Amino acid sequence: MLKKLFTPRNLLIMAIGVAMIVVSQMTPFLKVPKPVVSLAAETILHIGSFTISNALLTAWLVMVVLIILALLATRNMPKDLERASNQELVPSGFQNFMEMVIEGIYNIAKSIGGAWTPKFFPIAATIFLFVLLSNWLGLLPGFGSIGILESPHAANVQGYEAVGAILTGTPAEAVEHAEAVAEDGHEYPGYVVVPFFRAPSTDLNFTLALGLISIALVQYFGVKALGPGYFKKFFDVSGFKKGAFDGIVGIFVGILELISEFARILSFGFRLFGNIFAGEVLLGVMAFLIPYFISLPFYGLELFVGFIQAAVFMMLTLVFFATATVGHGSEEHH
């Protein structure tokens, strides 16, 4: 086991890794500042009393990109599908690719939604594409690295020296502290970057809002399929016909159902947020430890995680929709 680990090739790789750590820590121009881990999205501009955070700005960017993609994909589509010749109906290029994507999503929606597919599919596809693009956009160079230089707002955040508009990896010394306070009222030395763009999925507001939309639609489809009887599963008193004990158990199960409905919102929101936020922090820390090349495999990992999380969000939504439209299990017996 150990012999296999210490082959010349592996030893060389380890040596290169250690050498890269040493070199990057010794040479000041190769150093990268430690990432500022900000749980909340930072405000970048104000319109009246309305603050616009970098995550909100990027969410709008995602929408614009999606609209442009949709326009590009449907540009060559014939206006009148009924009268179009077969030649015109054959897609090519980008439209072909998008039709492949949409068809894939449609097949998944159909396998879960069944007869409800026409209702479920637009929501599922929107969630998938929106979340996927939100996850992946944060991986683009410039996201999280281009922004306004500001002095750190908290004592535990390390500020760095800046050369012109570029933040260096040199930590700002405490000596500057007095100067900085004297000059323009800065409380902490050095600068940190407040990025213009930040992946929307790394903002809890975004993911919780999506979770709320999803669970609200679950209730909507449940009522649409089963009528007011849908809410019976939350307030189940039918057990009292069999006796007091069954009735109390039924009420207790209803309370559990109600709690699990709210837990779904939370787990929707935190699953997406946690995965993508942790990924961004991982990439930032890796770039800080060894500035070059080491981040590359983690980029691949984050691409995969972004895709899986978008797929999971879509599939869970579809499964919850499907279970809401099917009546409560015990009701079929009565």
Partner 1 sequence: MDLTALGTALAIGLGAIGPGIGIGILGSKAMEAIGRNPEAAGEIRTNMILGMAFAEAIAIYALVVALIIKFV
Tokens matching residue 277: 């936020």
Indicate the angle between helix axes 295-325 and 244-289, nearest 10 degrees: 160
* Residues numbered 69-108 forming contacts with partner 1, rule: CB under 8 A: 108
Contact 143/137 with Cβ under 8 angstroms?
Answer: yes
Q: For tokens 């060389």, what's the residue?
A: 12
One DSSP character per residue, 99-116 reads HHHHHHHHHHHHHHHGGG
Contact pick of 142, 308, 326, 330 for partner 1 (by CB under 8 A): 308
* Residues numbered 15-74 forming contacts with partner 1, rule: CB under 8 A: 39
- Nearer to partner 1 (CB atom), residue 121 or residue 230: 121
One DSSP character per residue, 57-90 reads HHHHHHHHHHHHHHHHHHTTS-S-TTT--HHHHS
Span of 77-85, 124-132, 142-150, 311-319 interacting with partner 1 by CB under 8 A? 311-319
- Nearer to partner 1 (CB atom), residue 116 or residue 277: 277
Contact 268/313 with Cβ under 8 angstroms?
Answer: yes
Span of 72-80, 120-128, 225-233, 272-280 interacting with partner 1 by CB under 8 A? 272-280
Distance (Å, whole) CA 250 – CA 330 = 11
- Nearer to partner 1 (CB atom), residue 259 or residue 278: 278
Number of neighbours of residue 1 by Cβ within 10 angstroms: 4
Least distance in angstroms from the C-beta of 174 to partner 1:
20
Amino acid at 43: T
Q: Is 312 in the site for partner 1 (CB under 8 A)?
A: yes
Distance (Å, whole) CA 11 – CA 2 = 12
Span of 72-80, 115-123, 231-239, 312-320 interacting with partner 1 by CB under 8 A? 312-320
Least distance in angstroms from the C-beta of 40 to partner 1:
9
Size of the site for partner 1 (CB under 8 A): 14
Q: From the CA atom positions of the chain, what is the Rg in Å? A: 26
Distance (Å, whole) CA 307 – CA 305 = 5
Distance (Å, whole) CA 197 – CA 174 = 30
Q: What H or E segment, with its residue span, contains residue 238?
A: none
> Could you give phi then psi for residue 171, rounded to 5 degrees?
-65, 140
- Nearer to partner 1 (CB atom), residue 301 or residue 319: 319
Q: Is 319 in the site for partner 1 (CB under 8 A)?
A: yes
Span of 76-84, 91-99, 181-189, 266-274 interacting with partner 1 by CB under 8 A? 266-274
Q: Is 275 in the site for partner 1 (CB under 8 A)?
A: yes
Q: Is 274 in the site for partner 1 (CB under 8 A)?
A: yes
Q: Is 267 in the site for partner 1 (CB under 8 A)?
A: yes
Contact pick of 205, 311, 323, 327 for partner 1 (by CB under 8 A): 311
- Nearer to partner 1 (CB atom), residue 123 or residue 265: 265
Least distance in angstroms from the C-beta of 274 to partner 1:
4
Report the interface residues with partner 1, using CB under 8 A. 39, 108, 267, 270-271, 274-275, 278, 308, 311-312, 315-316, 319
